[in-house]
Chains A and B, each alone.
Chain A
Amino acid sequence: MGKIWPRRIRRRQALGALVASAALVLAGCGAGGRPAEGTSGGSGGGTTTGLTADTVKVGAHFPLTGVAAPGYSEIPTGTKAYFDWVNAKGGVNGRKIEYVVRDDAYNPTQTSQVVNQLVLQDQVFAVMGGLGTPTHSAVLDFLNGEGVPDLLVSSGSRLWDQPEKYPQTFGFQPDYEIEAKILAQYVAQNFPQAKVGLFLQGDDVGVDAEAGARRYLEKQIVAVQRYTPGNTDIAPQVSALQAAGADLVIGFNVPSYTALSQLQGLRLNYKPQWVYSNIGSDASLVGSLLARFSQGSVTDAGLLDGAITDSYFATVDMPDDPWTKQFDAIWKANGIGGELTNYRIFGMTQAYTFVQALQAAGPNPTREGLVAAVEKTGTSLQGPWAAPYRFSADRHAGLSGVRVTKIVGTGQQPLTGVMVTDNGDVPVTPYTAPEAIPPADGIPQQPAAG
């Protein structure tokens, strides 16, 4: 082949062709310079990326694989079941909700990749419920830079409440500081003689929780111990609490460290009154972790019986609660099989709030309109949660209160009514408004916020 031309000529031809085609390509796509300002047309009505006449696309990042997946990977299944339920009944203002979940394996590097994918490729209208403090921190800047509404972040960090810096981002859970304040006030009132030890995760969770606890227990705290997430040897911390004579320990930790602290307590014959934050107290998850960590010698969550914790929405151990009933029906109709769990209720609760926000944004929502609607209606939204959100133009903090409870078996018994407070020196007060009742078909009817 190719023996027609001597090699030299072929070479020249090829080079010439290469240069010519490169020049053509450059000339073809080149602009040469910017057109004068003001020629770019814009409808001026706000951004509607991810929105069509009959669909609205919502994205989320969750750990679906890896160490954080057990438990947390169930949250989006609940969210999806609820959205399917709403879609089956006609959607929101005629729009079906398309829910796209992407796996970040709880690795911030991966979070930034999948959120890029959600925003740039999937072109979601909003991101909702993204889970984790380090993971979501990695995309805060990006989402706010791109103007994507970033609602109901699944983490109790206070990072999400910075409306000046991050106008698109809103929290969801009660943050660790107010949760600690409410628990600490309960302890101060009901165990005034107790010597209190704090068992804290060595990051912002622990910092915020300690700040909250010290507002009511400054005089009672005898020891503060921190653990490093990932290091499973917590014998030094638990022994130090025992040595300091703490007879009541407040733990702000994730479920695996609830199990580890219980086992370590058993080993040291240390039996203080345990108080765990909501994030660390899912009794059925802790029970299965206990069984695994103790290689079968502890088989259920019986150890946790009598421990004090708190809750902020209906849970599966309250089968008579109207919201639990409603969510159970939704799960049976649209779930992917398996039991309804608290994680799934968590996801449905977020989905419920999102539907309310979308309704409040009116029949022709825009990204800007959705954020404005959340700011306008935030404190008045009614739903499965115990205490209202703190959303306003100046605040983007999540739920404002919790109910202190006692763990009995795998369920919880309320010890107080719902208590609400806020960050800083705002006092803890009882929340007196009546509990919200689920609407007839489980779908909220939020009027558009004028």
Chain B
Amino acid sequence: MAAPANSPTRSDAAETVEDATGPGRFGRLRRWLPKSVLGRHALLALVGLVVLVLVLEATPPFANSQFATMSYYAIAAAGLTVLTGLNGQISLGHGALMAVGAYTTGLLLTPDGLPLVVVMVIAAVVTALVGVVVGAAASRLHGPYLAGATLAFAIAVPGLAIYFHDFLGGEQGMQITAPRPPAWFSDAVYFLSANETSGVKFLAYVGWVTALLVLLLLANLCSSRVGRVWRAVRDDEVAAELAGIKLGRVRVLAFTVSAACAGLAGAVLGVVVRLAAPSGFTIVLSIGLLTAVVVGGLGSLTGALLGSALLVFLPPAITDVGTSIGLDDVQAAQLAPLVYGAVLVLVMLLAPSGAVGIAKRLVPGFGRGRGLRGRSSRDHHSTRRS
């Protein structure tokens, strides 16, 4: 019954059914949206931009910095959820791909050198090239073997920074000068909100504008022919191959797109953290990204956003709760990983389809045809059965 979102006649039909049977709020909402997929996604991105300005201007500086942090997790998690959820490839190596992006940014970003945008694009391109190589090696592997290969990659890359310590700064890392907000930007923000733009807030803007752009591009990609091909490869390799799809090429492409996102995320991380150091790109980062994707809901861009919000906002909240119930600093700090682990276990047991899965079960029609989301495998299977 779940009709493909990009077929206007059939989705209209589905909506009529909804209106007759259920609350259908989302169905009605959809009637306002432009008919074309690109238009719908662009409108959502625009709404996202307005929300972004309102949120960043209304929240205190520390929240701004948390949003800046969330932005790079969101970019990387969006790239990973497309790879894992849509194309069925697991990657434990995205932390290392972020390192490639961050180190590229560190090498190229000088106070009087290339502008930030150019550096970020170069970082994405360089990481995409690394992604081609890793993707080509990985395209023949499945399941645990693929996880193992990307894990090796994740562990090897930070070692390179230590080995070439004269060039890449070794263990203590490479300091990155965070760009100051340009005058026209602060003036524009001041015009809108009467707030001065701190360095932290500017970085949050940089991160989130990048994130919205990435989400827009990914959402379009997912609902295009490319996205359908990726899903076909994920669901049934033999059928896909019979349909004339070249499996290897599709897998490498998916990995490359995902790597480019990770590289962009790494570039944002570099300027937000102001440092690229091996200890920032341990396996914990890769696993954190995978956690965000899984907790949010595999294959869903909305889920990637929710998951990255969890990564950023949960640990400090838990630590504060710990302190307020009278634990000492060390115990409060240890509480965060504990709760974090418990949440992950509970999600796996009770809601394997993640936060988006729960939302869908609670609110019929949630997320159907909403642009910023690929369809989860559950959706897809039901399509196949019907």
Contacts and interface: CB of A to CB of B under 8 A. Distances in A.
B55 to A, nearest CB: 12
Interface in B330-356: 330, 333-334, 336-337
Interface string A13-45: 001000000100110011111100000000000
Contacts of A140: 175
Interface residues of B, number: 54
B172 A157 contact: yes
Contact of B172 (A15, A137, A230): A137
A103 interface: yes
B361 to A, nearest CB: 23
A112 B274 CA distance: 8
A121 B200 CA distance: 13
Contact of A32 (B54, B173, B191): B191
Contacts of A108: 173, 273, 275, 277, 279-280
B252 to A, nearest CB: 29
A58 to B, nearest CB: 13
Contacts of A159: 172
A202 interface: yes
B62 interface: yes
A364 interface: no
B18 interface: no
Interface in A76-114: 76-77, 80, 101-103, 106-109, 112-114
Given A64-B333, A134-B279, A204 B274 contact: no
A101 B329 contact: yes
A76 B329 contact: yes
A120 B277 contact: no
Contacts of A112: 272-275
A108 B60 CA distance: 23
A140 B173 CA distance: 13
A117 interface: yes
Interface in A309-331: none
Interface centre among A77, A101, A201 (most CB of B within 10 A): A101
A228 interface: yes
Contacts of A120: 60-62, 64-65, 200
B190 A34 contact: yes
A229 B333 contact: no
Contacts of B60: 120-121
B50 interface: yes
Contacts of B191: 30-33
A204 B277 contact: no
Contacts of B28: 7
Interface residues of A, number: 53
B306 interface: no
B165 interface: yes
What's the dominant secondary structure at chain A's contact region? helix
A139 B277 CA distance: 13
A113 B165 contact: no
Contacts of A117: 62, 65, 316
B284 A107 contact: yes
B319 A29 contact: no
Interface string B46-82: 0000100010010011101110010000000000000
B285 interface: yes
Contacts of A64: 329-330, 333-334
Contact of B330 (A73, A107, A135): A73
Given A64-B329, A107-B284, A31 B173 contact: no
B204 to A, nearest CB: 11
Nearest to A226: B165
B32 A11 contact: yes
B100 interface: no
A103 B337 CA distance: 11
Given A65-B337, A137-B275, A137-B277, A204 B32 contact: no
20 contacts: A26-B192, A65-B333, A69-B330, A76-B329, A108-B275, A109-B280, A112-B272, A113-B66, A113-B316, A116-B200, A120-B61, A120-B65, A137-B275, A140-B175, A141-B175, A142-B274, A159-B172, A202-B162, A203-B172, A204-B172
- 3 smallest CB-CB distances across A and B, nearest first, come from A31-B194, A103-B333, A121-B62
Interface of A: 7, 11, 15, 22, 25-26, 29-34, 64-65, 69, 73, 76-77, 80, 101-103, 106-109, 112-114, 116-117, 120-121, 133-135, 137-142, 145, 157, 159, 201-204, 228-230, 336
Given A22-B50, A107-B284, 10 more contacts: A29-B193, A112-B272, A120-B60, A135-B279, A138-B274, A141-B175, A141-B178, A142-B274, A202-B165, A202-B171
